[in-house]
Amino acid sequence: MDNKWRNKNFFEALKNSINGILYVITTQRNFKIQLFFAILAIVLSVLLKLNFIEIIIILIVISSVFVLEFFNTIIETIIDMYTQEYNEKAKIAKDIAAGIVTIMSIFSIIIGGIIFLPKILEIIF
């Protein structure tokens, strides 16, 4: 059974996945903000000389926010594909998807504070 959506080979699959990443980067304002803070966290990680475990935690938190933002974009795109009119259930689904990203973002701030704040205070004082 031939599926027109099926990738013909690895390189086509890679090209399509890169297109998906570029779509999120270029169209999602919140992802751009998250990307800025991710870069800031990585730069701080280097400058503050975080240990291996701290760096792994920071990378897991960053990737978690990114993955959830991608899922949020998927959900919003699918809903928009099916309805252009206001629909209460569509609104609820979109709000929940956005809420998931917000929860992870809040926890990433908390985790970043736990890791970065003592090291910054140590430098200041």
The distance of Cα 92 from the centroid of its chain, to the nearest Å, equals 21
Question: Rounded distance, CA 64 to CA 80, Å?
Answer: 24
**pLDDT (tens digit, 9 = 90+) per residue, 42-97?**
999 999 999 999 999 999 999 999 999 999 999 999 999 999 899 999 999 999 99
On whether residue 30 sits in a domain, the answer given is yes
The distance of Cα 37 from the centroid of its chain, to the nearest Å, equals 11
pTM check: above 0.75: yes
Give me the percent of the chain exceeding a pLDDT of 90.
93
On whether residue 3 sits in a domain, the answer given is no
Q: Mean of the pLDDT values across residues 18-43?
A: 97
**Structural domain boundaries, residue 37:** 10-124
Per the prediction, the chain carries an average pLDDT of 96
Distances (CA, A) of 81 to 2, 31, 36, 42, 93: 24, 21, 29, 36, 14
Instruction: Spell 108-120 as b/e; 16+ CB within 10 A means b.
Output: beebbeebbeebe
Question: Rounded distance, CA 80 to CA 22, Å?
Answer: 19
On whether residue 114 sits in a domain, the answer given is yes
On whether residue 5 sits in a domain, the answer given is no
| The total number of structural domains that make up the chain | 1
Question: Rounded distance, CA 110 to CA 106, Å?
Answer: 6
